[in-house]
Amino acid sequence: MEKKILQVHEEDAGQRADVWLTDQLEPMTRSAVQRLLAEGQVLREGRVLAKNSRLSGGERLEITLPDPEPVDVLPQNIPLDIVYEDDDVIVVNKPKGLVVHPAPGHPDGTLVNALMYHCGDSLSGIGGELRPGIVHRIDRDTSGLLIAAKNDVAHQKLAAQLQDHTLARTYHCIVTGRLREDSGTVNAPIGRHPVERKKMAVVANGRPAVTHWKVLERFPGFTYVECRLETGRTHQIRVHMAYLGHPIWGDTVYGGKKPVPGLQGQCLHAVGLRFLHPRTGEPVELCCALPEEFQAKLRSLRAKNG
């Protein structure tokens, strides 16, 4: 068992404890945090914090974290496009269509299964039984760079970088419509959609979410955009661009209902990743090319643009 002490700031007063703790204990899921609360593993000034509690601000929380669960996911020989690898981390260029970790409806054939085949026992256990090594996620139909940790120390340090934004993720996307400004920032909280529970949305009581964007090229009816994540909420870029009125091309959840011919899912690619190496502290900066279907759409738009 591991003990962790967290100080709640005055400005956090009124927040739900499970929401705040999920932010602080990333990559733990909200359901895992709620389980800790239900089991009495979170103390506020020495007393058990109830599952439905709100923070008063200024208090100190003591959390007892369970030991990592034994991994029980089958290794599978699924090809990986490895961009960087050493004894502590592995960075892959995830293709569209590949689910990151096992989940209902996707018990195997995931990136985790592929990593377990490639790395053997060399994956951190912090992510739990179904997410060994996984520090952050990418949607099934989004492609690009994803980092996984090979040991618990690396995982903890990379998760801390997600919190303090020293782990930087850059995406390229094509959105529908022409953005007027050359750059901007969307600072809008994201939470579960109030009606369609499989979707996320900008909601008043959501978790803080910040996306910085800038225009790379403009076309009739479309804009090629670079997005930099300051936070990492589920579907963040997709939700924020739709919130601006410019959903990502091919996104049938937050944009048009019909798939775009020649596109699998949304035209969104994690093109860049920057982090401090968890062992050496040296900066590591990586990038990968756009997938062919993304490049084909850009060529088509440029040809029409004359």
Q: Where in the chain is the domain with CATH 3.30.2350.10?
A: 169-270+292-305
**Rounded percentage of the chain residues whose pLDDT exceeds 70:** 94
CB contact at 8 A, 203 and 189:
yes
CB contact at 8 A, 44 and 86:
no
Q: How many Å apart are CA 196 and CA 117, to the nearest integer? A: 36
CB contact at 8 A, 169 and 271:
no
Q: How many Å apart are CA 72 and CA 182, to the nearest integer? A: 48
Q: Does 139 qualify as catalytic in the annotation?
A: yes
| Contacts by residues 8-15 (CB-CB < 8 Å, ≥ 24 positions apart) | 8/55, 8/56, 8/57, 8/58, 8/59, 8/60, 8/61, 9/57, 9/58, 10/57, 10/58, 11/57, 12/55, 12/57, 13/55, 13/56, 13/57, 13/58, 14/54, 14/55, 14/57, 15/54, 15/55
Residue 165: per-residue pLDDT: 87
Q: How many Å apart are CA 306 and CA 260, to the nearest integer? A: 22
Neighbours of 66 (CB within 10 A): 13
Query: Tokens at residue 69, please?
Result: 């669960």
* pTM flag (> 0.95): no
**CATH T-level topology, domain 169-270+292-305:** Pseudouridine synthase (3.30.2350)
pLDDT at residue 288 is higher than 90: yes
* 2-65 homologous superfamily: RNA-binding S4 domain (3.10.290.10)
Residue 256: per-residue pLDDT: 83
pLDDT at residue 71 is higher than 80: no
Summarised one tens digit per residue, pLDDT across range 92-144 is 999 999 999 887 677 789 999 999 999 987 888 766 666 788 899 899 999 99
Give a three-class secondary structure readout of 56-125. CCCCEEEEEECCCCCCCCCCCCCCCCEEEECCCEEEEEECCCCCCCCECCECCCCHHHHHHHHHCCCCCC
Query: What is the average pLDDT across 198-224?
Result: 93
CA torsion angle 289 291 293 296 (round to 10)? 10
Q: How many Å apart are CA 303 and CA 250, to the nearest integer? A: 20
The one catalytic residue among 12, 18, 139, 251? 139
Q: Where in the chain is the domain with CATH 3.10.290.10?
A: 2-65
* Residues comprising the chain, all counted: 306
SS3 24: helix
Summarised one tens digit per residue, pLDDT across range 4-63 is 888 888 878 888 898 888 877 766 777 888 889 999 999 998 899 988 889 988 899 999
Q: How many Å apart are CA 32 and CA 234, to the nearest integer? A: 16
Query: What is the average pLDDT across 257-283?
Result: 94
Residue 221: per-residue pLDDT: 95
**Most confident listed range (89-93, 229-233, 301-305):** 89-93
pLDDT at residue 292 is higher than 90: yes
Residue 240: per-residue pLDDT: 98
Residue 70: per-residue pLDDT: 53
Give the H/E segment covering residue 243: helix 236-243
- 30-38 helix and 17-24 helix, angle to the nearest 10 degrees: 120
Residue 72: per-residue pLDDT: 64
Confidence of residue 174 (pLDDT cuts 50, 70, 90): very high
Name the nearest CA neighbour of 222 among 303, 117, 128.
303
pLDDT at residue 232 is higher than 90: no
